[in-house]
Every structure is written in structure tokens, then in C-alpha cells.
Amino acid sequence: MNLMKTTMDTSLSIQGRHLLSWTDFSQSDVSKLLSMTQYLKENPYSKALSGKVLALLFEKSSTRTRVSFEVGMTQMGGHALYLNSNDIQLGRGESIHDTAKVLSGYVDGIMYRTTSHEKLKELSEHATVPVINGLCDLYHPCQALADLFTIVELKGSLKGMNAAFIGDGNNVAHSFMILASMMGVNVKVATPKGYEPDPALVEKSMQLSKDAEGAFQLTHDPEEAVQNADIIYTDVWTSMGQEEETEKRLQAFEGFQVNERLMSKAEPDAHFLHCLPAHREEEVTTGVIDGPQSAVFQQAENRLHAQKAILQALLASENIL
């Protein structure tokens, strides 16, 4: 799959749908979103969302998610409204049902960054405008689209690429392995025992990989995972809300650090990815994250362009620029 072109495929028709996870979308949908991402990166300013308002509902703090969505809406002629759950009635006991109904009467879409996938589902069930998952305990779909777009920029294609995810089988791992498997990337996930991805999502990734004529493998050996890898990806070992597990996790993840030695066992032109923020000298060494094989800041910038494609597809009155 090669997306190196400057025209945008405008045939994508997902207006009004929710984006909770990539399991609800097709390979064709994702291909068109990736093409749209490239077009919007090359043509950043438009009036596609003129008059549109996106509510940004945050229960968990953020740098990239908040800034990229706000900037994206502005560049496309719309407006983003930041809503910290502690500053609205949701934080004082108003139900998710009522919050969804009220916000739907004011805005054209809701981005929800939450602690619980169940809360996200409840919001989407009662909202009459598109709901976008900005992160939950199970998925991080916007991050995954940016990840795959970055791989396309680095390697020129997705199908047949070898990607290794090293570390915690968390929400970032879930969305990456689902989307990468769907698009024909050969994925290996290496975690310590007891920190594997959700079994149902492993099964789903295996099926998606099979359908795309790829390969999916779960292992507990990071060196096995990076053999022949074109991409090595990691995330923090201790995510927000898990701080009390820090010492336990530091011990469990010993040997899973992405360092110069581990990178040397991958392909010579392999690239390193990290969703950020990074705990330097824990899951990755400073030498790797700041080294010549790292693409983490290109990947971070691509959150903006990928999310603009999502906003264009879900919110624009007409799917053209």
C-alpha cells in the first residue's frame, strides 16, 4: 500500500459515525483516511469545518491530544471547546446520559478522553453527534492512525512491513496491533508474562492479520520480536492511574527496555516509535529516542494531520476541501 500522492480520495462516507475503535471500520475506510491525512498535511488550511464546534471532554490530562485537536479544528475553520470534567456538571454527578444529550444540542462532535471504555460507549449511545475516542482504558485509535501514517512516510507502504511492539499490552498496543494487522503489517507484540494484551483483541488481531495476508505473533521475548523488524514501538511501562504499581512494573519489565543493543538486532534501517510522553531510561534510552533511527517527533506531529482527517470524515458537511 503506497500513499505517496497529493490527491485526496473524497469517496469516504462515514459522516455522523462514532470512532470508538478501529474494529468498527474497514480496511478501505482506513486506506482513505490515510490518503486524506497526507493531503491535509500538505494542504493544512481549509474551511471544511467552518461553523463546526467540537467539544473536547477530558477526564485525563493530555498534551498531544488537546493541542492537536484544537489546532486541527482551527486550521479547518472550526472551533474546539475544552471541557475539563471537573469544570462541568459531569464532575459533580450529572449522568453521562444527560451530558451526552445536552452537548449534542450545542456542538457538532464530541472528543472524549476518559478512564473507561464503558463510559465512552455510554456517551456514544446517547449522543446524536459523532463521538471520537481520544483515549480510554482499552483503546487509543487516533494515536494508531498517526502511527500507521508515520510508517507510510518512513517506509512508503504498510503491507509486508514488520513491526514489533515492546512493553505493556495496553490501550496503545491494542489499537496499534488491530489497525496494523488490518492493513497487512506483520505484527509481533512482546510483553512480560501477566502483561499481555486483552485476549479477545489478540484473537481479533490474528483474524484481521489473516484476512490481510499478514502475520500476528504474541511473545514474551523482546529479542525474538525485533528480529527483522522495520519498526520498533514502545510505550511507558506505567500509565496514568497505575502509579501505585510503579515499583512492581519496573521489576516485571526488566529486559524490555528499547536500547541500542535491542535496536541493533532489528533491520539496519529500522525506525523507533513512541506515542509519548516517554520515561527516558525506563522503557527507552535517551540514545535511542534522540538517535538517528527515532521518528517520535514526526509521529507526534502526525497526530494533528491524522485527527484532521478523522474530523473531516466525520464532521464535514461535504467530504471535500
Q: Which of 108, 137, 143, 307 is catalytic?
A: 143
Q: Which of 18, 108, 147, 275 is catalytic?
A: 275
Binding site, annotated residues: 62-65, 89, 113, 140-143, 171, 235, 239-240, 275-276, 303
- Asked about 235 being catalytic, the answer comes back as yes
Q: Which of 18, 174, 274, 303 is catalytic?
A: 303
Binding site, annotated residues for carbamoyl phosphate: 62-65, 89, 113, 140-143, 275-276, 303
Binding site, annotated residues for L-ornithine: 171, 235, 239-240
- Asked about 143 being catalytic, the answer comes back as yes
- Asked about 303 being catalytic, the answer comes back as yes
Q: Which of 18, 113, 174, 305 is catalytic?
A: 113
- Asked about 275 being catalytic, the answer comes back as yes
- Asked about 27 being catalytic, the answer comes back as no
- Asked about 24 being catalytic, the answer comes back as no
Q: Are 207 and 189 in contact (CB under 8 A)?
A: no
Task: Round to whole Å and give the CA distance between 82 and 85.
Answer: 10
* Cα pseudo-dihedral 174, 177, 178, 180, rounded to 10: 150
Q: Which of 235, 299, 307, 312 is catalytic?
A: 235
Q: Which of 140, 249, 271, 305 is catalytic?
A: 140
Catalytic residues: 113, 140, 143, 235, 275, 303
